[in-house]
Structure formats: structure tokens, C-alpha cells
Amino acid sequence: MDEPGAGLRIGVDIGGTFTDFCVFDEATGSVRTHKALSTPETPGAEVMHGIAELASRHGWQPDAFRYFTHGTTVGVNTVIQRRGAALALFTTRGFEDVLEIARLKVPDPYDLFSRRPAPLAPRERVYGIAERTLQDGSIETAVDPEEVEAAVGRARAEGADTIVVALLHAYANPANERAVRDAIRAAAPDVAVTLSSDVWPVIREYERTVTATVAGYVQRRVAAYIGSLQAALRDAGVPARPMITKSNGGIMAAELGKTDPVAMLLSGTASGVIGAADVAARVGASEVLSFDVGGTSADVAVIQDGKPAFGTGETVGEFPIYVPTVSVTSIGAGGGSIARVDEFGVLKVGPESAGSRPGPACYGQGGDLPTLTDAFAVLNLLGAGDLGYGAVALDRGAAEGVVATLAEPLGLSLAEAAESVIRVAVSGMYLEVSKLLSRHGADPRSFTLLAFGGAGPMTGCLLARDLRIRRTIVPPVPGVLSAYGGLIADIRNDFIRTAFVDLDAEGLAVLDAHAEELEARALGWLRDEQGFGGEARLVWSADMRYRGQSYEIETLIDRGDIAAGRAAPLAGAFHAAHERVYDHADTQAPVQVVNLRLVVSGSAPKPAFTERPLAPGPAPPAGETVIHLDGAERRAALYDRSALSPGQHFEGPAIVTQDDCTSIVPPGSAARVDGWGNLVIEPEG
């Protein structure tokens, strides 16, 4: 969305411990950053607190903020904590067990007693409706409003306050779902209703139903949160219409999040990847592993040629959602992850987190359990500079006190116990990152690790060393890169239409009609609902397969080939994709198009960065300290990030401090500052 006149554009990302702020001044081209402690007990309060601090520090007036984008975890936390709506599910009679049956996959194939998570809509609140839509979209059995009214009565008697409607073949024709919705509203106007055909109208009942139940489960809490945020911004005199970052790496008007909450479930993690992709493209790194470590988790994604990988089926809490998302692997190991010794005497780190309240013990906020951050503090790897723009003051004595509770049962010294916590956390990251790269068939030695987040630059080089990744990059403001990612994200939305046609003349005619419908919807969404007046970008793709296959490959296609009825180039694109993924293709086999997809996007103004000339030379240290790393005490040089200039270099062990995070350069590594201000760390020699 284009805001009139030059002003301040602000991106905000709420994390487990800190809320990050990135402000772009359109008039001067400057970028300012800030952090404030998150307030999970009063979501949204940290946003207004941080804006007030920024305004006071820089002399800004609230009406100068012309653009506001925000990444939030309220949706995903609602699912994880099971604090959402009391759901009922209305489905086609005979399909009441769709959530229990799922895809018949055992959660843990090595545990014979493992169980799938309890559905968000419990079986006793699932009601079958006698209706039927056929595969071609024709209505065989219409909806009886009296039957729906009776089901609503039973659902309310069971305590339901939200009803999800997911009927057979609703992707082909939503008429019966809409008839059920109308009957529900007539019988119980206060009950919220979510339709699967509105959430993501795709073939396959389980995928569509589980995605709709997640959307219905979080809708009330997300809507209440967005409403509170809108009111707070108005009361503070901020004129910007708030935007929300989306799971697909784009943004949308916050108002739409009230009715489309599933699109923003993974907004925070996606924003970090978008920020990392921008840095990767700027430095020309072709294969990058983005490594975002916050207070609760480490989020890892693959970026190739400056573009993140996208996919469907990402897990939110314990449930998959089948809307397009930036592909991110989340690991339960962040700066606030709690370390403990289990009943077998084994040291474990995470996934439980101390969050921002009470937080790590060393933050002096009342935390009394050892965390990964406390381990870094004990080893004197943290605390040489301000933390979180002065939001907290390091209490090393408190860190030593809680880590001592681990040292005694493990029979280790204090330093040994602290380093063991770090090693266990990094080994868990190593395992998950190795699995991620294996799925991509990638060799880690060809990748660059881009470390960011509050704890990413502390752990990045340690992980890169284990993975044998030779280059680690720490961007200029790594602690707030997710907020920056939201600030530069494009307005973006995904549209889909199930076609299920052969790639022949008749099928191409059907696809052309679907394409016209999708393009009209996409441009209407961008122009009318988002108020975007700039140039629209349209990217077309299709989920394609050989006839008889039970899986599809998303393949980029040319809209012009559909309009002109050219089947050969469309089939050729699929054959090439199949060859790339499976190392073979059958060019004589008939091809089917299952889904037609369209991504529409529009760009907002972005900061323009200039590569500065290098002035090679050694960087003068700001001081020296004694650290414990790699099993020994060592003298480490201290460097102030703000004082480093492009071309300067230094060797490890070293500690680099800045307002938003601390970077560690381990022994045997050398660091240099490139022309973009990035810290580039590589093994010596």
C-alpha cells in the first residue's frame, strides 16, 4: 500500500524475549533500529512502548509514522498453547473421522506408542450434514437448513463458540458450504463461522479440513489482537493503517487478518527469511542458510540465488497447514531455552523457554532457571556491551548461580557445565540443519551461513564450524533483521483453483477460464482491498503430475501458453521439473494439471544501500577480556561494531558488541568487514 507523502516506515517483529523495531526514513534514506522487552502478558503493549521510546529518542512525532508493518506470533502461540476457540466441525455425513484418520502417518515411527495430537475439533463436536457436492461441482444433495439448525443446537450445548464447515468437494463449488454458513448465522448469529472454501479451496479433504480448523481455532484471538493494535495506534496518533506480515513472506492489511488468520500464522519467521534473502542478494551469495536465533527458537531456511524456498504443509504447533509459506525449519533452541539434567543424568537444552518474563537469570528479571544465554554469560562471552539497547543489564552472578545447579549433578566445573550447555544446544541445531540440507540434497560446504537474531551471531560460527561451512556472515543490524524483513516485504497474496484436467485442448480451455477468474480476483485484492496503485507482478504456476501419480510438482508456467492453447511448452516445463526433482522424466506420458496457482505482488518503497569502498587494514580493538571457549581460558579482543569500517579485519578469538546483539569469532577464524558493512567470518588459512 502506498502512503501519501514522505514519512517514517516502521517494521516491528515480536519475539520470545525482545520486540524488534526497524524504521526507514523516506526523506533522508536513513535506517534506525531499536529493541524492547516483549510483554506476553499484555500482547501489543511492547509495540506502543517501543514506538514511544523511538519517538522520544529521535524527536519524532507520532503522525510521522506513515507506514506500519508488524509480525506477530499470536496465532501460532494460540495453537501451541491450545488457547483458541471451542471448535465444532460440520462435515459431509460419513466423513466425520477425517481429522482422526488424517494421513495414517505415525508421528514417531520409532515409538510404537506414539499418538497423533488430539484434533482441535474433538470428535464429540463433529457433526455430519446430509449433503453432497460431486467432483465436477454439481450439487447432488442440497443442504437442509433445519438439519443445520439442529446441529448448531447440539454444538452450542457442547460449548462450541466457533464452527468450521468443511464439506466434500467444496473446492469445486462452495455453494453448500455457504448454505450451511447462512443457516448457522440464522440460528446463532453470535457463533463465528469458518468455511474451508474461503480458507484454501484445494482438492484433498484432510488437507483442506485441517487447515480450516487451524484458521477457525485462532480467528477470535487474532481478530481481538488486531483490533487492540489498531485502537492503540489510533489513540497514539499514528495515522498508518497497520499491515501484517504473512507466512508467504509478503504483507497484507491487518484488517484482513481478522478474517484470514491462517495467512499470518508464520509471519515472524517468514519476515526473517525475507530480510536474510535481501542481504544474500546484495552480497551475491548463491547458496545461503539463514540462521535466525531468538529467545525461543532457531529458525533455519535455505536461500538460493537470493530467493527463499516456498512450500506447503508447514507445521504450526502439532498441525500441518497447507497454505503457501516460506519453508522454515524451527528448532527448539534459542537464547532463552532452559537447560536441565533429566532423570537419567543427561543434559538437555530446550524446547522449554524462559521467554521474556522471567527470562534468562542473567537479565535480572526474576529468572531462576539456567538458559543458553546464561551459559554464554558464565563463559564471559556475553556482557561486554549493552544488551537490547540498554533494555537489560547483565547479572553474571545470577547466571553463575543457576548454571551451578547443572554443574553439581554433572560432576563438572562451572565453566565446563556452561560450555556443555552450548555444545548440546549447537548439536541439536546441527542435527536439524543436517536433515534440512539432506532434504534439499545440498552439501553444507557450498553454503554461506547468514546468522542473525539476538542469539544467532553468538552461535553461528560454532554451528558453521561443526557443519564445515566455511563462511559466516553477520549483517550490520542482525538483532532486528526480522523487523527489517517485514519493512521491505512486498504486498503479496496467493490464489489457487483446483482444475484436475488433462493437458490437452479441452483441458487448456478450462485452464484459461480459471486463469481469467484468478487474475481478476488477484488484481481486485491488490487494488481494492490493499489500496495498491503501483505495478502488479503476476507469477503463474501449476501443480502437475503424470496421469496416475498420487503426487504433484509445482511448476512455473507462462500464462501466454494457456491463452494460446500451447500444451507442448507447459508439458515441457513439467518434464524438466520432474527430471530436476526425481532425476528422470517420461516425455511420452500424459500430463495432468491438478491446481492452477497465481501469486500477485506489489512493491513498496525500500531503503537503498550503497556499497562503500574498502580501506584494508587491521581493526583496532576496544579492549580485551578473558573468556572460556573450546575447553580453555583464552584472551579475546573486544571490538565495537559501530567503530568497524569496510576493509578492516581481525582474528579470533574475539567478541564484537553492538546494541542489538553480540557476535563471537572463535579461535582459528578471521573476520573482515565488507563494503556493505557485513561481518564476514572465515577459517584462517
**Upstream peptide bond of 4 is cis (omega within 30 degrees of 0):** no
Q: CA triplet 391, 392, 395: central angle to 5 degrees? A: 170
Q: Are 90 and 129 in contact (CB under 8 A)?
A: yes
Residue 400: alpha-carbon gap to chain centroid: 34
Mean pLDDT of 659-675: 94
Rounded Cα–Cα distance for residues 445 and 97 (Å): 46
Pick the more confident residue, 677 or 18: 677
Indicate whether 1 pLDDT > 50: no
195-210 pLDDT, tens digit per residue, is: 999 999 999 999 999 9
pLDDT at 104: 76
pLDDT at 4: 41
Q: Are 375 and 418 in contact (CB under 8 A)?
A: yes
Among 180, 130, 188, smallest CA distance to 160 is for 188
Q: How far is CA 12 from CA 64, 222, 574, in A?
A: 16, 17, 40
Least confident interval from 389-398, 553-562, 614-623: 389-398
Mean pLDDT of 498-522: 96
Rounded Cα–Cα distance for residues 627 and 139 (Å): 72
pLDDT at 390: 65
Rounded Cα–Cα distance for residues 125 and 128 (Å): 10
pLDDT at 421: 96
363-399 pLDDT, tens digit per residue, is: 888 889 999 999 999 999 987 766 656 667 789 999 9
pLDDT at 2: 42
Quote the mean pLDDT of the chain: 90
What single-letter DSSP state applies at residue 529?
I
Give me the helix-helix angle, 414-439 and 396-410, nearest 10°: 80
Mean pLDDT of 668-680: 96
431-488 pLDDT, tens digit per residue, is: 989 988 887 778 899 999 999 988 899 999 999 999 999 999 999 989 888 889 988 9
- The label of the residue with cell 492453447 reads 565
Indicate whether 647 pLDDT > 80: yes
Rounded Cα–Cα distance for residues 312 and 558 (Å): 22
Least confident interval from 95-109, 238-252, 490-504: 95-109
Q: Which domains does the chain have, with CATH numbers?
A: 8-78+223-264 (3.30.420.40), 79-222 (3.40.50), 491-601 (3.30.1490), 617-683 (no CATH)
Rounded Cα–Cα distance for residues 423 and 462 (Å): 9
Rounded Cα–Cα distance for residues 144 and 4 (Å): 50
In the numeric block, which cell numbers belong to residue 262?
A: 491462517
pLDDT at 386: 67
Indicate whether 147 pLDDT > 60: yes
Residues of the chain above pLDDT 90, percent: 62
What single-letter DSSP state applies at residue 45?
H
Indicate whether 61 pLDDT > 90: no
- Length of the chain equals 685
Alpha helices in 525-625 (DSSP H): 559-563, 567-582
Mean pLDDT of 514-534: 93
pLDDT at 153: 97
Mean pLDDT of 124-136: 96
Indicate whether 46 pLDDT > 90: no
Indicate whether 576 pLDDT > 80: yes
Indicate whether 357 pLDDT > 80: no
- The label of the residue with cell 543458553 reads 372
